[in-house]
Structure 1
């Protein structure tokens, strides 16, 4: 692309020489004037060229940064699928698995590209995951439910890595990562390894220097004993999470398989986590289970000595441990939408937004009015206020089957019996349960409630706020502004 102003040096030089001859005929003053004018013109022209060369860069759509390049396409197309390295996962009773150790991410992107891609991918994560969250909210009316956004998205990307043909295209479309040119050639396909790298980068940002946040992500894949898996596929998943396990188990004996998998998960996942697994589809030969642990502390908070009432329903109370904290918080009391929003910092960047109905409003009304961008609106009108806050100590275990979510979205075929996953295995893959589980813990930081250093210097009386009835919870990573977790708290201690 040429800039709007483009100088032809040779013609410009001829014009300059011609004008120079004319100036000699008019005398020295005229010559000096013309020379000055020409130097000014040269300066202005060069300035214009430099300016246009800076601002006239070719726009590159972020999709092109996650798509296959022409070189990558040629490499992929020249590969022989039958030459792909395959592996047999060890039996579930095995204590060792070399594929789980020392696996580094296969694709490492430059920091400037990562920043662009985070800005591109984060809204897609939020749009897709909210579709699932909206369905799960309707199903879970009397208990708590939490949806880890990046893990929901990562699960779909993981299956995309092993998908072929129409299944690959359908999963890419579902993710929302589509070529703006609508081309159908190889360069219109997203490179799943690059997307996995972006998700891993977002995960890594949620690290609290003062240990107020701990996270741990685990993925387990179980396959039938005779199913081989692509080594490239296994390594991609192993490098995308903190812990990765792949094991072989006999699916034909459902009772025994449930017992074996449950015991394995109980030994590998975080303390007190239960699998909640009750049955297995005996016709399947692959199961995918992801688990994420979020453990946070409310800074400068303490545990209230006695359990406090929490209204799980308008006429039902349970006594739960509560946390107390006083300080300057950002909040908004919205008397139009009848909801109260409060922001709770967990570290320098990361925070919770809690939304509780007020003035007789209900959680169901708030849920029904939510869209995938609603969380952005929650943070717009917050103002600082000295607040004495009490909120429940949380210990929530939440689990859902993505197959059920896809069924409710009328998209069962994405991971259905006819889906093609021959990039994952030489065996025809029949996907069973695809389970996302999350453990969310929010606790006090054990400060002395009588410590005067926690009282801010202000003359205003503290506003007393009690989160003592069901509320919406949203966890944000502050650097990328990514919504990592969305859910509703109906029971503060919600254990599977």
Structure 2
């Protein structure tokens, strides 16, 4: 009897405590709390430590002297991370749609977290109206609609969460290799805030800051491209051909992604790929046979196939059929269309003999070219306030995101499944030999890591 009474009391307490629990919006977990606001407001700006970057031709790495020790978060994704993922997918899809319109005949591949993180990096150094504009642009809407310190997003918290998201979403196994490098270039007279620099170290696997004199534009371009070539593991071009002589700050990030298709092999001869209905090129093709999830949607006139790259990460390849075009598919897409595609795949698997191009795509995007199509052309303009970045009046020049994406043959099967066809059944022959949409997804959360179109499978900038 006594035990039953205790259980009854515990049950009642649990119910009452659950009912009284106050829901906290994830936004509020990313803002400054009251004590943090008081500390910020009491700080003397004149005591801020500054950092003079090493000259680009120097062999020394001055940023190594101020590199902080960072404790990265691990574990499953919670409400805050999932909230951030929704903002990343919304903003990044707007970028993809913008580039589709600006570059209608070229391959487009946008790494979602990299695009989002680029603007978070600028947010760390922004003040006043620029800070508020960037917060709104990133999608951080205050649920209480208040305008004070405790409704301001703490960019350092966001950076930490983005790193946790990356560590969770991108598989680290023999089939997938990823690396992110960030380089910032400033004029020799510009000293940067150490607080700002510290916040950026965890945004990339490799992080560099160098001073370069942009008065001689041609020499500066040559020095920067040579520096990038020496730091990147792959032979990638930045797309940097000119520099605005009035700018004193540039930002270049590079994402390398290499994936291998399990149990695949390279066909001995190049095969035709139709970049246009009446124009073909000869490209290396991968062949793979096995059990895949696929569907042909005759209402939407598209074909979808899912290819696992690891235990969690997979490719979703979408090709127009029945006379449909890539333009039609792109124009009807929304930020969450890929979820509809994933959910449309049948639970049953079909044995398929699939051939698809061996991809090697390098692309470079100057985000300053994109901002007008997103109706925020002055977001990083000459009147923007980046006084948290430097006491010098920062004038932002090129802001470049580059990607080096490769899809190769010879990967190991992440699920250990047999590629033997079912008894008495022949495999369905499928060829991806014309432009298609490519999405890289994480299976557990169904988060989108990369989205774009493949028009030319071996597009090297």
- TM superposition score normalised by structure 1: 0.87
The Cα of 1:280 is off from its aligned counterpart by 0.4
* 1:92 equivalenced with 2:53 (yes/no): no
Name which of 279, 284, 302 aligns with 2:247: 284
* Residue in 2 that maps onto 1:400: 365
* Residue in 1 that maps onto 2:144: 181
Name which of 304, 318, 323 aligns with 2:281: 318
Alignment map for 1:15-414 (pairs within 5 Å): 47-100=11-64, 103=67, 106=70, 108=72, 111=75, 114-383=77-346, 384-414=349-379
The Cα of 1:177 is off from its aligned counterpart by 1.2
SS of corresponding position for 2:287? strand
SS of corresponding position for 1:407? helix
The Cα of 1:243 is off from its aligned counterpart by 0.3
- Larger mean Cα displacement after TM superposition, 396-405 or 114-123: 114-123
Q: Structure 1 CA distance, aligned partners of 2:390 and 2:32? A: 22
Change (3 A) 1:438 1:46: closer
The Cα of 1:49 is off from its aligned counterpart by 3.5
Q: Structure 1 CA distance, aligned partners of 2:122 and 2:297? A: 42
Q: Structure 1 CA distance, aligned partners of 2:390 and 2:451? A: 34
SS of corresponding position for 1:340? strand
Q: Structure 2 CA distance, aligned partners of 1:40 and 1:115? A: 35
**1:345-370, Cα deviation, whole Å (9 max, x unpaired):** 00000011110000111111111111
* Residue in 1 that maps onto 2:410: 445
Q: Structure 1 CA distance, aligned partners of 2:137 and 2:426? A: 51
Q: Structure 2 CA distance, aligned partners of 1:412 and 1:457? A: 56
Change (3 A) 1:299 1:55: farther
Q: Structure 1 CA distance, aligned partners of 2:175 and 2:20? A: 45
SS of corresponding position for 2:204? coil
**1:144-196, Cα deviation, whole Å (9 max, x unpaired):** 11111101100000000000011001000000112200111111000101111
Q: Structure 2 CA distance, aligned partners of 1:387 and 1:479? A: 24
Verify the 8 A CA contact 1:100 1:243 in the aligned structure 2.
Answer: no
> RMSD of aligned C-alpha atoms?
2.2
SS of corresponding position for 1:419? coil
Q: Structure 1 CA distance, aligned partners of 2:356 and 2:368? A: 34
Please tell me whether Structure 1 or Structure 2 has the larger radius of gyration of its CA atoms.
1
For these two proteins, the number of residue pairs brought into alignment is: 455
Verify the 8 A CA contact 2:32 2:152 in the aligned structure 1.
Answer: yes
SS of corresponding position for 1:413? coil
Verify the 8 A CA contact 1:106 1:236 in the aligned structure 2.
Answer: no
Q: Structure 1 CA distance, aligned partners of 2:252 and 2:106? A: 22
Q: Can you give the 5+ residue segments of structure 1 that lack an aligned partner in the other structure? A: 1-35
Q: Structure 2 CA distance, aligned partners of 1:266 and 1:366? A: 37
Q: Can you give the 5+ residue segments of structure 2 that lack an aligned partner in the other structure? A: none
- Larger mean Cα displacement after TM superposition, 221-230 or 52-61: 52-61
* Residue in 2 that maps onto 1:484: 449
Q: Structure 1 CA distance, aligned partners of 2:4 and 2:226? A: 81
- Larger mean Cα displacement after TM superposition, 103-112 or 208-217: 103-112
The Cα of 1:98 is off from its aligned counterpart by 3.7
The Cα of 1:482 is off from its aligned counterpart by 2.1
Verify the 8 A CA contact 1:107 1:194 in the aligned structure 2.
Answer: no
* Residue in 2 that maps onto 1:22: none
**1:97-120, Cα deviation, whole Å (9 max, x unpaired):** 1424794565755757x5222211
Q: Structure 2 CA distance, aligned partners of 1:336 and 1:101? A: 60
Q: Structure 2 CA distance, aligned partners of 1:240 and 1:413? A: 24
Verify the 8 A CA contact 2:339 2:446 in the aligned structure 1.
Answer: no
Q: Structure 1 CA distance, aligned partners of 2:246 and 2:323? A: 49
- TM superposition score normalised by structure 2: 0.94
Q: Structure 2 CA distance, aligned partners of 1:138 and 1:100? A: 41
Name which of 423, 427, 439 aligns with 1:474: 439
* Residue in 2 that maps onto 1:493: 458
Q: Structure 2 CA distance, aligned partners of 1:242 and 1:265? A: 14
The Cα of 1:80 is off from its aligned counterpart by 1.3
* Residue in 2 that maps onto 1:425: 390
Q: Structure 2 CA distance, aligned partners of 1:271 and 1:109? A: 29
The Cα of 1:316 is off from its aligned counterpart by 0.3
The Cα of 1:323 is off from its aligned counterpart by 0.4
